[in-house]
Structure 1
Amino acid sequence: MSAPVRLAHRVAELFGCSRADAEQYIQNGWVSVDGHVVEAPQHLVSGEQVELDPDARLEAVEPATILLNKPPGFDAIGGRRPAAALVTPATRWADDHSGVRLLQRHFQRLTPLVPLDTEASGLMVLTQDGRVWRRLTEDADQIEHEYLVETSGEIAPYGLHKLNHGLRYNGRALPPCKVSWQNEIRLRFAIKGVQDGQLRDMCAQVGLDVVSIRRLRIGKIPLGKGPNGAMPPGEWRYLPVGERF
């Protein structure tokens, strides 16, 4: 048996490429060892079968941004039940048509963004991309979010008008937003700069109790629908390259 060598060395030797190109092939998930994809150039091999995918391309791999349908009861940013733990290769939505190839490196150093109440559900963002981080933090108050809020109780007179404009929260007047009835018990909010607890408080001010909250959209990015309906709770999809919030 030959002495162990780094996988990048073996790939360069077998396929006649430079060491730098070999490392990029490996990191981009194009190399398998005994039938299993290995993304670590420093992985040691000796007599194993090393293969390069026939479709392998030398191109930069964009940092990943993941869109998760957070179920109720999970913490979006921090807490005992982090929603980030739901993001695994096995929970990728079957109808994800982003075209992004799944790589193990996509599950490393993911930063959760855009708070969402623990008991709320819906669209949540986790990213490796500094551009996305800046957009969703520095420009947060300019990005419209869409929520579906199920309520109980009877709305106060002129309550819908007040929800659209005329309420206060945490001692400040709230800017106008767009609120409409989707049906007899569900309100649809299109709102910017929403704070933790704000939607519940707004509903309480007009006599409504909140049963559930689901975020459907952040900016231009929706939760996602496929041939079999909406992306299920606990599953995720990639943000396609080129799409922006």
Structure 2
Amino acid sequence: MTEPLRLSKRMSELGLCSRREADEWISRGWVRVDGIIISELGSKVLPHQHVTVDRQASAEQAKRVTILINKPMGYVSGQAEDGYKPAVVLVNGASRWKEDKSVQEFHGSQLRHLVPAGRLDIDSVGLLVLTQDGRIAKELIGEDSSIDKEYLVRVQYHHGAKLPDSELRRLNFGLSLDGKPLKRAIVKWQNEDQLSFTLREGKKRQIRRMCEAVGLKVTGLKRIRIGKITLGDLPTGEWRYLNIDENF
């Protein structure tokens, strides 16, 4: 890579922040390239140039929170739609899990710019990540993300007594959606009517569409893990902070 590229994109590639945060920091004069303050949006840099951020940026970033919520059915992950409420409305002082070990105190400003890093369908439940930190959003849903996600999926089979082993193998590898082959998954039976899915991608309604392709109907879907973070005993409709010693 020898061509110049936007400073905001380079900062995102370096893991310093998200592109949105980068533009904000650049406009505030918090970004330096080879020791020189760069405050013009759209500025470009070469890959060998040294990019640093001032302490104000690092201090502001440290204040940003990441929240783990056990999303109930009937809530959308992001913006309100079709009369359904977004999961963020569940985040308040009263719904914080009593066993949350974080020393972080809740206040309303933490709801600003709190966005889902990944989604769960309205009829799916389980672990949902809401974050103010662009680095975490990039880690979980960026193009280069390698974080896997685990789901428990209750199913019914409509073409016989039991799903053939050949179709189970197709769920693991061999299906395509939207004209593109899916990445290899880990799909196995948990019991006679429940599968576990471990995926490294998250196309819209992917698991439901995968199941439809092999004759399965999904009757329940719950996300129980994202990377190293598990849902654990977090009650439905409650939330906790991602601790500083935790990572995905």
TM-score of the superposed pair, with normalisation by structure 2? 0.68
In 1, Cα distance between the equivalents of 2:179 and 2:113?
A: 37
Q: Which position in structure 1 is the counterpart of 2:104?
A: 100
C-alpha contact 1:140 1:193 (8 A) present in aligned 2 = no
Paired residue type of 2:163: I
**Could you give the per-residue CA deviations for residues 92-139 of structure 1, whole angstroms, max 9, x where no partner exists?**
011212333333432333122201111101111111222212222325
Higher mean alpha-carbon deviation, 62-71 vs 94-103, is at 94-103
Q: Are residues 117 and 131 of structure 1, via their aligned partners in 2, closer, same or farther at CA, if it must alter by over 3 Å?
A: same
Quick check: which has more Rg, 1 or 2?
1
Q: Which position in structure 1 is the counterpart of 2:201?
A: 193
Paired residue type of 1:76: S
In 2, Cα distance between the equivalents of 1:133 and 1:197?
A: 20
> Any unmatched runs of 5+ in structure 2?
1-58
Q: Which position in structure 2 is the counterpart of 1:51?
A: none
> Any unmatched runs of 5+ in structure 1?
1-58
C-alpha contact 1:86 1:235 (8 A) present in aligned 2 = yes
In 2, Cα distance between the equivalents of 1:134 and 1:198?
A: 20
C-alpha contact 2:139 2:145 (8 A) present in aligned 1 = no
Q: Which position in structure 2 is the counterpart of 1:120?
A: 124
C-alpha contact 1:156 1:206 (8 A) present in aligned 2 = no
In 1, Cα distance between the equivalents of 2:182 and 2:134?
A: 30
In 1, Cα distance between the equivalents of 2:216 and 2:74?
A: 22
Structure 1 runs of 4+ aligned residues shifted over 4 Å read none
Paired residue type of 1:234: G
Q: Are residues 76 and 140 of structure 1, via their aligned partners in 2, closer, same or farther at CA, if it must alter by over 3 Å?
A: farther
> How far is 1:157 from its partner?
4.5
Paired residue type of 1:88: N
RMSD: 1.9
Secondary structure of 2:188's aligned partner: strand
Q: Which position in structure 1 is the counterpart of 2:245?
A: 242
1:1-245 counterparts in 2 under 5 A?
A: 62-78=63-79, 79=81, 80-139=84-143, 141-153=145-157, 154-223=162-231, 225=232, 230-245=233-248
Paired residue type of 1:71: P
In 1, Cα distance between the equivalents of 2:136 and 2:205?
A: 25
Q: Which position in structure 2 is the counterpart of 1:3?
A: none
**Could you give the per-residue CA deviations for residues 142-161 of structure 1, whole angstroms, max 9, x where no partner exists?**
21010110101231341211
Higher mean alpha-carbon deviation, 177-186 vs 95-104, is at 95-104
C-alpha contact 1:70 1:233 (8 A) present in aligned 2 = yes
In 1, Cα distance between the equivalents of 2:86 and 2:185?
A: 30
Secondary structure of 2:121's aligned partner: coil
C-alpha contact 1:69 1:121 (8 A) present in aligned 2 = yes
In 1, Cα distance between the equivalents of 2:112 and 2:176?
A: 40
In 2, Cα distance between the equivalents of 1:69 and 1:140?
A: 26
> How far is 1:202 from its partner?
1.0
In 1, Cα distance between the equivalents of 2:141 and 2:165?
A: 37
Paired residue type of 2:235: P
